[in-house]
Amino acid sequence: MVAANWKMNTLPGGAGTLVEAYGAEMLCGHPELVVCPPFTHLATLGPSLGNAGCLGAQNCSEHLSGAYTSEISAAMLRDLGCRYVILGHSECRLRNPMESLRMPEKMAQAIANGLTPIYCCGEDLPIRESGAELEFIARQLADDLPNELKLNAQNLVVAYEPVWAIGTGKHASPEMAQQMHVFIRSRLMDVMGIEAERTRILYGGSVQGNNAAGFASQPDIDGVLVGGASLKPADFRSIFEAFARKGS
C-alpha cells in the first residue's frame, strides 16, 4: 500500500487535478493506492476514488452520531465512499491531549462501520535517543488497539511514523524501520496470532522519491504513508514505482 496524506493542503477545486496528475496507472493497481484528502474534498473525490476503493479520510469521531459539533463519524465517511481512515496520527495526538485516550473507541467505530483504520504509532526523539522506543511502541499498541474486537489483516493497517521524522527532512534508515516493523508484527501476533503475518505495516516519515527504494527493499515494510511528497505528483510516482517493483 502507498497512502497519500494530503493533510490540510490543496483546495477542493484542485483535488481532482492532483489525482489526475498521479496517472491512471496508479489508481487501484499494485501496490494499492489510498488517497486521504481533507474532509472538504471527500464528496468531490467520492464518485471516482470511492467507487474504486482508494478513498480514505484523515480522522473520525469515536461517536456514531449526536450533539458533537465539528465531529465527523465513521458512518458519514463510509457513506461518502471512504474505505480507509487514518487514526492516531502524531499531529492529531500533539494537538489534542485526549486523542490517545480516544483511540480504542475510534478504532472500534471505524471497524464497525466498514472502514479499515490506518493506525499510526511512533516515538518522539527523546524516547529514541534514550533507547526506549520498543517499550514505548509496545505500550502504545496495548493502549490503543480495542481488545473487544477481533483484529485481522482485512480490518487493520499499521503505519509506523517516528515523530522525529515527520516533516523534518530526517527519516529512519531502512534498517531502523525494518527492525521496528518486525517488532510491531511480533506484538500484533500476541493479539491476532498468525493473521499478523498478513497485516500490512507501512513506514511514514519524510518519505521521498529518492529514499523510497531503500524502504521498499526491506521485507517487513509493506508500503508507506506519504505526507508532503504526495502533493508532488512526479515525486509521488517515484515512491509508488519503488513499491511496484517490490511486488513484481
Q: Is 171 a catalytic site residue? A: no
Q: Is 30 a catalytic site residue? A: no
Q: How many CB atoms lie within 10 A of CB 230?
A: 26
Contact 6, 231 (CB under 8 A): yes
- Active-site option among 41, 62, 89, 91: 89
Q: In this structure, what C-alpha cell is assigned to residue 124?
A: 518522539
Query: Is the backbone peptide bond immediately before 31 cis, with ω within 30 degrees of 0?
Result: yes
- Active-site option among 62, 123, 133, 161: 161
Helices (H), the chain: 15-22, 42-45, 51-52, 74-79, 90-95, 103-112, 125-130, 133-144, 174-192, 212-216, 233-246
- CA–CA gap between residue 118 and residue 58 (Å, rounded): 9
Instruction: Point out the residues that are catalytic.
Output: 89, 161
